[in-house]
Amino acid sequence: MRLVRFWFPAVALVVPIAVLVLLSQSFAPLTVQRVVTEALIRIVAVVGLYIFVGNSGIVSFGHVTFMAIAAYAAAWQTCCQMLKPITMSGLPAFLRDNTFPLLPSALTSIAAAGALAFLSGLVLMRLSGLAASISSLALLFIVNVVYSNWESVTMGTASVVGIPTYVTAPVALVCAILAIVVAYLYQVSSRGLTLRATRDDEVAAAASGISLYWSRLFAFTLSGFVMGLAGVLHAHYLGTISINAYFLNLTFLTLAMLVVGGQRSLAGAVVGVVVLSAIIDIFRRLEAGVSVGTAQLALPAGTQELILAAVMLVILIFRKDGLMGGRELELPRGKAEPPARVQSAKNLAGAAGKT
């Protein structure tokens, strides 16, 4: 029973998603299947973002950078053997002249994203919350400028095409489940709880002997790995990548999903992706035009973005903790036990001090 209670918040997220995906695989039209696969990849990305932002309370604008790093690393290893020596002549010889198997390439790409997260985190996590947020924006811009102009290696702002596409809904589903499980295990681990303590009361946590720096750095690195996974999936799903796909728009989209769902809980991150993906898809279809009787109605292009921003603002103003209100999906408890949320972070700050 304890085991069931422990795993319930993760299982309660995974099972409905898995059922939805399997149903869409068997019955839904191809366009819906594509939407589902995209949403699954976004779940990986937003859960990756959540691991840092949700648990630490520090907004990061730099996380899609790690997606870009991993996506390009995967592209360099797997794409277009014939064209690579011409289009990306500046690559080191072993990358330029070889094509690597998919699994090792995915793993090394994810490792590259994690390594960059660790290295940049060494610097960024020294800063206080807001300064760290702004400086994570610097990270986003640095990588964007470098990749946009490093023509001989990244093809500049042009798209890299010919990446093998093996990411289907089942593959993305497995990865989304993996990301959810990793995030869940982290947030209930002692490291995760100490970080949540710093989020709820920085001063009390520090006074209790928690190192703000190391607890944040660990989460930043871990979320870098998960973002890397999202980047690899994205590259192998689309088959084509360009650096400007990993810039402010994607940053906004992932943050909006996290905020709408509720950045303080894992369930919020997942629900946010599902809800906003649905809204986006509906408005995309409306922008493309629907026929009502004989008339063809279409919303002007750009409506979808306005709606997205408006939804996010409304949530921020009227329901600051998002749709899930910062809660996980939990089994109802007996009266004897206090609810799990109350005993979380602040008490733990005290507990950590005693050990």
Partner 1 sequence: MTNVVQVIVDAGALGSLYALVALAIGLVFGVMRLINFAQADYATIGAYSLVVPTASITPPLMFGALPTALMVGCVIGTVILLALLTERVAFRPLRNSNPATLLISSFAVSYFLQNLVVLVHSGRPKSVGIGGSLTNAVELWGIRIPGVQLLTMGVAATLLVVLVLFLKKTPLGIQMRAAAENFQMARLLGVPANRVIAVAFAISGFLAGTVSLLLVIQTGTLDIKMGLMPVVYAFFATVIGGMGSLPGAALGGFIVGVVSVLLQTYLPTDLRPFRDAGVFALVILILLFRPQGLIVTSAARERV
Binding site for partner 1 (CB under 8 A): 57-59, 61, 123-124, 126-131, 133-135, 137-139, 141-142, 145-146, 148-149, 202-203, 252, 255-256, 259, 300-303, 305-306, 308-310, 312-313, 316-317, 320
Q: Supply the minimum distance, in Å, between the C-beta of residue 69 and partner 1.
A: 14
Q: Supply the minimum distance, in Å, between the C-beta of residue 207 and partner 1.
A: 9
Q: Which is nearer to partner 1, 5 or 319 (CB)?
A: 319
Q: Which is nearer to partner 1, 200 or 330 (CB)?
A: 200
Q: Which is nearer to partner 1, 210 or 255 (CB)?
A: 255
Strand partners of residue 296: 291
CA dist 174 and 37 (Å) reads 11
Q: Which is nearer to partner 1, 83 or 142 (CB)?
A: 142
Q: Which among 273, 286, 257, 74 is positioned nearest to 165, based on CA atoms?
A: 74
Q: Supply the minimum distance, in Å, between the C-beta of residue 210 and partner 1.
A: 15
Q: Which is nearer to partner 1, 79 or 257 (CB)?
A: 257
Q: Supply the minimum distance, in Å, between the C-beta of residue 37 and partner 1.
A: 25
Q: Supply the minimum distance, in Å, between the C-beta of residue 45 and partner 1.
A: 17
What does residue 292 show for φ and ψ, rounded to 5 degrees?
-110, 110
CA dist 273 and 68 (Å) reads 20
CA dist 142 and 61 (Å) reads 12
C-alpha distances (whole Å) from 288 to each of 39, 62, 266 are 20, 32, 33
